[in-house]
DNA sequence: ATGGCTCGATTGTCGAGA
């Protein structure tokens, strides 16, 4: 079973690329971030024709997330219960792994974490509060659903390995101690970074700035993550960042990340 | 380089992203 996350930076612009990618990479589950459209404009039919059922949680202009799956997702929840939020950032659902008597359910949380803009700003404070809200809810969610993945655009790097210029970006947004403390507090709930379970190419990133030939020069950050709960950790067979679509014309600035469960 | 691209909302220009 394969599950993927991808910040596509406008589904209106990127829909053909997402459909192409799914045709070439027929994953079982795909969570999307930054749809930048409302639910009435979500291309449900086109994903259905591609073999995917979808749940969207969009808003105008900014944010917006979706959960696509080959088999129906159940118990779908939008945003973080217990945390008041104007923005559409989280979509959660339960999907089935396997069929028949051996089938087991998996809880998938797809999330678009706040950017934070700049340490000390109002948006940074919102990011911190959002992260605390997420953790508080996830703690309970893990009790109800021990087999859980948290995947999406975290907008946080773990450490220097995730940053193309660690010295230049010291204490910059995505790299501050405060953000990393919150990320490690999620890890402390019993989650594991799938990426680091396996040998990875050096300087593996999931986002590159559009400006200044960031992708060509591999000036990037690893900010898109797939965290798995303790109950799923032993089943993780691979975790790969797919840079292929970043080479498209008019690409998203993010690459998809794919995890395989055995 | 208080920037560089890209997107949406707009239709000249700016906020936001990361």
Query: Which of the pair, A247 or A99, is modelled with greater confidence?
Result: A247
Domain spanning A2-261: which CATH class is it, in words? alpha beta
Query: Is residue A227 a contact partner of residue A186, using CB atoms and an 8 Å limit?
Result: yes
Averaged pLDDT, A185-210: 98
Per-residue pLDDT tens over the stretch A124-173: 999 999 999 999 999 999 999 999 999 999 999 999 999 999 999 999 99
Model confidence, pTM: 0.97
Query: Reduced to 3 states, what is the DSSP secondary structure of residue A248?
Result: coil
**Protein residue closest via CA to C1' of B17:** A115
| Average pLDDT along chain A | 97
For chain A, the C-alpha Rg in angstroms (whole number) is 17
Is A247 within 7 A of strand B by CB distance? Answer: no
Chain B bases near protein CB atoms (7 A cut-off): 3-9, 16-18
Query: Reduced to 3 states, what is the DSSP secondary structure of residue A190?
Result: coil
Q: Round to a whole number and report the distance in Å from the CA of A238 to the C1' of B11.
A: 48
Is A9 within 7 A of strand B by CB distance? Answer: yes
Residue A32 buriedness (CB in 10 A; 0-12 / 13-18 / 19+): buried
Residue A99 has pLDDT above 90, yes or no: no
The DSSP annotation for A217-236 comes to TT-EE--EEEEEEHHHHTTE
Query: Is residue A37 a contact partner of residue A65, using CB atoms and an 8 Å limit?
Result: no
Largest Cα separation within chain A, whole Å, is 54
């Amino acid at each position: 079973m394969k599950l993927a996350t991808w910040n596509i930076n406008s589904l209106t612009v990127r829909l053909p690329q997402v459909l192409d990618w799914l045709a070439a990479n027929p994953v079982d589950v795909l969570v999307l971030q930054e749809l930048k459209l409302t639910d009435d404009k979500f291309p449900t039919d086109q994903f259905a024709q591609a073999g995917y059922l979808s749940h969207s949680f969009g808003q105008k202009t900014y944010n917006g997330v979706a959960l696509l799956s080959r088999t129906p997702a159940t118990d779908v929840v939008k945003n973080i219960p217990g945390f008041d939020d104007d923005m559409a950032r989280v979509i959660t659902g339960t999907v089935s792994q396997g069929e028949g008597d051996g089938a087991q359910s998996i809880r998938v949380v797809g999330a678009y974490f706040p950017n934070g803009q700049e340490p000390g700003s109002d948006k940074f404070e919102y990011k911190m509060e959002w992260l605390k809200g997420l953790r508080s809810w996830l703690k309970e969610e893990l009790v109800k659903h021990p087999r859980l993945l948290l995947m999406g655009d975290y907008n946080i790097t773990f450490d220097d390995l995730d940053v193309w210029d660690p010295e230049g970006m010291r204490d910059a947004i995505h790299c501050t101690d405060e953000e990393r403390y919150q990320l490690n507090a999620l890890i402390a709930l019993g989650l594991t970074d799938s990426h680091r379970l396996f040998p990875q190419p050096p300087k593996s990133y999931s986002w590159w700035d559009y400006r200044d030939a960031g992708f060509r020069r591999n000036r990037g950050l690893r900010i898109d993550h797939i965290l798995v709960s303790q109950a799923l950790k032993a089943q993780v067979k691979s975790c790969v960042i797919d840079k292929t679509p970043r080479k498209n014309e008019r690409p998203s600035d993010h690459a998809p990340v794919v995890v395989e469960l055995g």
